[in-house]
Amino acid sequence: MTAPERLRALMQHPGMITMPAVWDGMSAKLAAEAGFKTAFLSGSCVAAARLGGPDLDLVSFAEMFDSFNMVRGAAPDTLVLADCDHGYGNAMNVQRTVRAYGRAGAAAVLVEDKITPRALQSAGKPCIPREEARMKIRAAIAAAKDSGVLVLARTDCRPTAGIEEAVARIEMYVEEGADILFLDSPDGPEEIKRAIAAAKGRPSFNVVQSLRRDAPPTAAEAAAMGFKIGTYPPTMLSPAIAGMKAGLAAMLAGEATAPSALSTADHRATLGYGDYDIAAKPYIIGSGK
């Protein structure tokens, strides 16, 4: 089965699919070793790792695609949902982006309707007109036919255009043939219900922390709301940042390591030194077969 076929089959199982948000080889490898079959290549995590900053539409297609290839190289069996942001341009740019990810082995791609570049402020997510958004999703779905990659259509228009427009866009994306739907920034349970109803039985996705920022719902709670797929971008990234800060604090204090650091043996095992030695042994001159 192809990656899209495997993801489609996985979505037929009961319960919610929890996707760790990954950004490079190590994050993808750790997620796979923990037992996760899927992962979300997160634009916010890639922006943090590559730019050292927030996700404000500054990361390019080339940077995201490079990160995707890192993830695939380190965890080739993981089903990856690739964050394509706004598709990096018009409908033709969207097609190029979707085809590239499909050829490279993505299980699904996310395409959104934000205006880019955004206004010179971090607040707000102005979106393109509804019919322009339709054409982007139509282009994505046409391009996806080459590889079978699933298309996740996202609308960010709720904060600026209201729930009526957001629901209308979800219904429009369903008409165009989107496989998975995503309403960003719903304001409470009733809006969540409306968005999931508008998906007409197709799976709904969300960034789970955005559903309730004071106390993000568990996977079981998100499933009870009607979501089929969810991702938790800060859940791996935030502890990783905390770990680096702890290491730096230890060095500033004159210590060799932080209390939370892995042992040398665990560090080497996690990086895969032993696996490398096993794989390389047949090619060492004089070692025999």
Residues 1-8 have a mean pLDDT of: 98
pLDDT cut 90: percent of the chain above it: 91
Q: What pLDDT does 277 receive?
A: 94
Q: Which residues pair with 93 in a beta bridge?
A: none
User: Above 70 in pLDDT, residue 288?
Assistant: no
Q: What pLDDT does 121 receive?
A: 67
Residues 31-52 have a mean pLDDT of: 98
Which tokens is 146 given? 């080459």
Ramachandran angles phi, psi of 87, nearest 5°: 85, 0
Give tens-digit pLDDT for 62-85.
999 999 999 999 999 999 999 999
User: Above 90 in pLDDT, residue 43?
Assistant: yes
Give tens-digit pLDDT for 236-254.
999 999 999 999 999 999 9
User: Above 80 in pLDDT, residue 224?
Assistant: yes
Tell me 64's DSSP state. Answer: H
Query: What would the DSSP string read from start to end of 98-156?
Result: HHHHHHHT-SEEEEE-B-SSPPSSSS---B--HHHHHHHHHHHHHHHTTTT-EEEEEE-
Residues 251-276 have a mean pLDDT of: 96
Give tens-digit pLDDT for 226-236.
999 999 999 99
Interhelix angle 163-176/189-198, nearest 10 degrees: 20
The model's pTM is: 0.95
Give tens-digit pLDDT for 109-164.
999 999 988 777 667 788 999 999 999 999 999 999 999 999 999 999 999 999 99
- Structural domains in the chain, CATH included, are 3-233 (3.20.20.60), 240-283 (no CATH)
Tell how far CA 271 is from the center of its chain.
23
Tell me 281's DSSP state. Answer: G
Give tens-digit pLDDT for 180-216.
999 999 999 999 999 999 999 999 999 998 887 778 8
The sign one gets for the Cα dihedral 83, 86, 88, 94 is: positive
CA distance 76 to 43: 20
Q: Are 110 and 19 in contact (CB under 8 A)?
A: no
Q: What pLDDT does 235 receive?
A: 95
